[in-house]
Amino acid sequence: MKHDLRELLLLLYLKNNPKLAHQIYIYSYLGITDAVHNPFQFVSADLPPNMRKSVILQNIPAGEMLQAFISPIEGGGYEIENSVIYGNKAGVLVEIGLDKSKIDRSGKYKQFQQLADSMLRQYRDF
């Protein structure tokens, strides 16, 4: 895979928000239920000024989610912060660092990396 998870999450955020409006985006994989429904969906909403821009990636059948926060960088532009919030249906909610040298071999990292890549493949210009 050519992109790491942080890059893929930022690409997802920018895909429907190229002007970086103060919004949250939630991309969900709903699972395959039949041949006529797209298993990939997204919603967005404006955020109050005191909330941080973020993107959430959900794997509904697995009961897991990942929330990444978007922060401005020096010199202009934005980036995904180096830590994300992971949650699952058992109630686990933890902050996970995305230090590539430590995490890129983990199964969860690869699962969310593949999910983000699959979400982006829904767009013609990816």
Q: Would you place residue 118 in the very low, low, confident or very high pLDDT band (cuts 50, 70, 90)?
A: very high
Query: In this predicted structure, what is the pLDDT of residue 11?
Result: 94
Angle at 12 between CA 6 and CA 15, to 5 degrees: 140
> Average pLDDT of 67-83?
93
CB–CB of 1/113 below 8 Å? yes
Cα-flanking dihedrals φ and ψ of residue 7, to 5°?
-65, -45
Query: In this predicted structure, what is the pLDDT of residue 99?
Result: 76
Beta bridge partners of 53: none
Global pTM reads 0.89
Domains held by the chain: number: 1
Provide CB contacts within 8 A for 40, sequence distance 6+: 27, 28, 29, 30, 118, 119, 122
> Average pLDDT of 73-91?
93
Across the beta sheet with 54-59, the strand order is 40-46, 23-29, 54-59, 64-72, 78-88, 93-97
Amino acid at 112: F
Q: What is the pLDDT of residues 17-48, one digit of tens each?
A: 999 999 999 999 999 888 888 899 999 999 99
Q: Would you place residue 76 in the very low, low, confident or very high pLDDT band (cuts 50, 70, 90)?
A: confident
Q: What is the mean pLDDT of the chain?
A: 90
Enclosing domain of residue 18 = 5-122
